[in-house]
């Protein structure tokens, strides 16, 4: 991949962060990394508190995961700007400032990453622990209409399609596949409104 892009690293990939970091830093890609919520947001869910408070606590969970990712050699930024090198976005300040999305659990770091890509006019790569969106045991290579699925939050595909965000969902546990993507090669995954 040559141009700048947004990459969301899912919270389930916490054990894969060192390898993902090495791949991104070696490729020297201008990538803005959006952290998932991971174990930090999962803890918030256990409190069963009001949507408004849990929304901000979960975003702070993203920020904590972001600092963990950053500890593997990335710079950080609280501001939304097109990256020139691998950078981790720390979301709390900007999300408080703009507050662009509803406060409920149908919107998680998945849709927040899509909003970032839309806001910056960049393509989006979402790294998950699965190959993409799975339907009846098979990988969906392309999604052209909003779809409920277990792999992403309920608002994600609608938001991506409504805003024309070129998106690839792929397996972050397969580092060689990520390295292939960073070299500009086609890789397995689910494409949504995309030319990846």
- The CATH number of residue 15's host domain is 3.40.1160.10
SS3 label, residue 190: strand
Residue-number span of the structural domain to which 81 is assigned: 5-192
pLDDT at 194: 59
Q: What is the pLDDT of residues 131-187, one digit of tens each?
A: 999 999 999 999 999 988 989 999 999 999 999 999 999 999 999 999 999 999 999
Domain count, the chain: 1
C-beta atoms surrounding 72 within 10 Å: 16
pLDDT in tens, 98-144: 999 999 988 999 999 999 999 999 999 999 999 999 999 999 999 99
Sequence-separated (6 or more) residues with CB below 8 Å from residue 53: none
Q: Which residues contact 95 (CB under 8 A, 6 or more apart)?
A: 59, 112
pTM for this model (two decimals): 0.94
> 50: Cβ–Cβ under 8 A, 6 or more apart, which residues?
none
The string of pLDDT tens digits covering residues 30-77 is 999 999 998 888 888 888 889 899 999 999 999 999 999 999 999 999
């Amino acid at each position: 991949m040559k141009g700048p892009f947004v990459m969301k690293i899912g919270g389930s990939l916490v054990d894969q962060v060192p390898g993902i970091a090495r791949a991104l830093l070696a490729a020297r890609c201008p990538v803005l990394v959006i952290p998932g919520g991971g174990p930090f947001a999962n803890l918030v869910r256990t409190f069963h508190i009001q949507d408004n408070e849990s929304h901000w606590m979960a975003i702070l969970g993203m920020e904590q995961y972001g600092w963990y990712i950053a500890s593997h050699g990335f710079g950080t930024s609280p501001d939304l700007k097109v990256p020139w090198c691998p950078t981790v976005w720390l979301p709390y300040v900007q999300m408080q400032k703009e507050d662009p999305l509803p406060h409920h659990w149908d919107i998680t770091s998945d849709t927040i990453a899509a909003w970032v890509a839309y806001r910056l006019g960049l393509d989006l790569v979402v790294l998950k622990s699965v190959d993409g969106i799975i339907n009846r045991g098979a990988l969906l290579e392309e999604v052209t209409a909003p779809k409920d699925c277990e792999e992403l939050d309920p608002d994600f595909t609608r938001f991506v399609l409504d805003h024309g965000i070129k998106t690839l969902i792929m397996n972050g546990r397969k580092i060689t596949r990520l390295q292939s993507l960073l070299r500009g090669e086609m890789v397995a995954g689910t494409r949504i409104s995309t030319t990846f």
